[in-house]
Amino acid sequence: MAKSFPKQQYPQTFKLFFFFLPISLALTSFFLVFIYIYSTSSVLTNPQSTPFLQPATNVSLFDLIIPLPTDNEDTVPFSIDNTAEDLFFDLPTTSSNSKHTQWSLPLGHLFGFTGDNMNNTEIYQDTDVFLEDYKEMNKSFKIFVYPHKPDDPFANVLLPVDFDPKGHYASELYFKKALFNSHFITKDPNQADLFYMPFSIADMRHDPRIGPQGLQDFIKDYIFNISSKYPFWNRTGGADHFYVACHSISRFAMDKAGEAKENAIQLVCSSTYFVPSYFPHKDASLPQIWPKERDPKSLVSSKRNQLAFFAGQVNSPVRAALLKHWVNDTEIFAHFGRLETDDGEEQLRSKFCLHVKGFEVNTARVTDALHYGCVPVILANHYDLPFADILNWKSFSVVVHYVDIPVLKKILQGISFEELSWLQKNVLKVREHFKWNVPAVDYDAFYMAMYELWLRKSSVRVRLSASREYI
Ligand SMILES: *[C@@H]1O[C@H](CO)[C@@H](O)[C@H](O)[C@H]1NC(C)=O
Ligand SMILES: *[C@@H]1O[C@H](CO)[C@@H](O)[C@H](O)[C@H]1NC(C)=O
Ligand SMILES: *[C@@H]1O[C@H](CO)[C@@H](O)[C@H](O)[C@H]1NC(C)=O
Ligand SMILES: *[C@@H]1O[C@H](CO)[C@@H](O)[C@H](O)[C@H]1NC(C)=O
Ligand SMILES: *[C@@H]1O[C@H](CO)[C@@H](O)[C@H](O)[C@H]1NC(C)=O
Ligand SMILES: *[C@@H]1O[C@H](CO)[C@@H](O)[C@H](O)[C@H]1NC(C)=O
């Protein structure tokens, strides 16, 4: 007789267990994945948003910038300087002797003469690539500018000015002027690589109808207007759009236009990693340039008998550290406060000119130094230097970390005559890249800015609907 197996070989609970085990495992993994994504998503949407990068208070920066009577960054008093970046700054407590070993290295290390992968002694990151690519950019790059009529009530902030811009934030206006007169402009949006939103932050700031308080709403409205009237914004969420701003209050300007902040290319002077609205790589650094009437008569270096020069107010812990260590030094001429005489003369007789982060990271000091043939010394941690995608900054400047302020003199004195001559020669070569010309000339600040935009033009345009072709 065949042995029949009992139908109920396993107890009911055992079966249930095998039924629920995979399901509960799946659910658990799902929840774990969900929790993981949730906890990391705030970092993904904003790479800079870690808790300690938040300013200490909500109000300080914006409210305190508004009532300033002038555009001069140097007028901000020291006491209110609490930018997030400075939270990272602490003077070394150990004696400066502990640094001796670091700088007993041959100075070649500082300039990459001896490193394995830093042998580039040219002024460009890659000369061949840049020159080839530049030609291609010059030939084929096309920009569509959102059109505005001269009788638009906001023509003053949207159209280029008909005079030569002056002052701290001239870069913004020079760029617009040069672009409008350039061969990069196309009237046909189908040919455009990028779309330019021509509002000027500096002009808006001075327009009583807008002002610093109205910036964010104006830009929100502007983007609402162009995205309703034209199809271009919605195709990429603004990724093939750009604007240019040199004034540091542009750091708040996009706060009500999230898509613009996250997607559009921002060509800005305030290119520091501590500005939450600045996204390295997506955005690009524009030099702040104080336009000069004429070139100095002579840039010859033999008359440069002063080691280093700095002038500016003590409005940041970094400058306070500089003051503490070098205020009475005979070789580092550091003038704290406004200089009565023209500091061009001082820069002409100095070997090194210090760019020290103040209330903001960006000032015209770097380009001033280059103008006067003085080798810039950059004391501004986490500052994306202008045109850094193109220029090899090591070939014409010295970058010093905050913590090395106590040994600054040792660093500068350690630079040999040959190394200094090489830096000075390169300063004279890069000067042309930091100048605005009317009309613009090849390789000047305008063309360099265009090249930075060209490097960032690769966005993918999505089809908006089945019925609509790519426009
Ligand atoms: C920031 O602003 C919020 C709302 O305006 C307020 O409740 C909070 O106290 C502020 N925080 C600080 C540190 O000022
Ligand atoms: C860098 O230069 C040194 C000396 O000229 C040379 O020996 C070395 O091979 C170079 N390194 C690279 C990566 O090119
Ligand atoms: C860039 O284009 C302009 C206008 O077509 C032309 O005059 C100039 O020679 C070009 N420059 C280079 C380096 O190709
Ligand atoms: C947006 O469009 C409206 C209606 O045409 C206009 O009144 C307003 O000034 C525009 N705003 C901006 C910021 O362009
Ligand atoms: C773009 O998208 C916005 C928001 O979804 C919408 O209001 C607007 O009409 C769209 N623009 C066009 C031209 O379709
Ligand atoms: C600089 O010199 C002045 C005047 O001699 C003196 O009062 C001051 O303490 C000195 N400062 C430092 C940091 O040595």
- What whole-number distance in Å separates Cα of residue 185 and Cα of residue 143? 5
**Do residue 239 and residue 269 come from a single domain?**
yes
Is the separation of the CB atoms in 354 and 379 below 8 Å?
Answer: yes
HSE-up (13 A, CA, CB side) for residue 129: 10
**In sequence order, what DSSP letters do the residues of 321-333 get, joined into one string?**
HHHHHHTT-SSEE
β partners of residue 382: none
pLDDT of residue 73: 44
**Do residue 261 and residue 305 come from a single domain?**
no
Sign of CA dihedral 134, 136, 140, 141: negative
CA-closest residue to ligand 1 atom 10 = 58
pLDDT of residue 58: 39
pLDDT tens for 95-147 read 444 444 344 444 444 554 444 445 788 999 999 999 999 999 999 999 999 99
**Helix (H), strand (E) at residue 413:** helix 408-413
pLDDT tens for 68-109 read 333 444 433 333 334 444 545 555 444 444 444 344 444 444
Ligand 2: residues with CB < 6 A are 116-117, 119
Ligand 6: nearest atom to the Cα of 328:
1
Residue 374 has pLDDT above 70, yes or no: yes
Which listed ligand is nearest to 323 at the C-alpha? 6
Ligand 2: nearest atom to the Cα of 119:
1
Q: How many angstroms from the chain centroid is the CA of residue 456?
A: 14
CB atoms < 10 A from the CB of 341, how many? 9
Q: Average per-residue pLDDT in the chain? A: 82
Which listed ligand is nearest to 139 at the C-alpha? 3
Range of the domain at 394: 97-115+292-435
pLDDT tens for 302-331 read 689 999 999 999 999 999 999 999 999 999
pLDDT band at 41 (very low <50, low <70, confident <90, very high): low
**Do residue 306 and residue 286 come from a single domain?**
no
Is the separation of the CB atoms in 278 and 268 below 8 Å?
Answer: yes
Report the SS3 class of residue 295: coil
User: In Å, how far are 179, 268, 279, 353 from 197, measured between CA atoms?
Assistant: 12, 14, 18, 36
**Do residue 337 and residue 276 come from a single domain?**
no
Q: How far is the CA of 101 from the centre of ligand 2 (A)?
A: 25
**Do residue 201 and residue 301 come from a single domain?**
no
Q: Which residue has the tokens 């500082």?
A: 110
Does some domain include residue 396? yes
Q: Record the tokens describing residue 132, joined without a space.
A: 């080839």
For residue 465, the 8-state DSSP code is B
Does some domain include residue 28? no
**Do residue 168 and residue 277 come from a single domain?**
yes
Among 54, 58, 64, the mutation site with the greatest number of ligand 1 atoms within 8 A of its Cβ is: 58
Q: How far is the CA of 127 from the centre of ligand 3 (A)?
A: 18
**Do residue 280 and residue 309 come from a single domain?**
no
Report the SS3 class of residue 124: strand
The enclosing domain of 409 has a CATH number of: 3.40.50
User: In Å, how far are 21, 226, 354 from 398, measured between CA atoms?
Assistant: 63, 44, 9
- Cβ of 297 closer than 6 Å to ligand 3, yes or no, is no
Which listed ligand is nearest to 141 at the C-alpha? 3
- The alpha carbons of the chain give a radius of gyration, in whole angstroms, of 27
Q: What is the pTM of this model?
A: 0.76
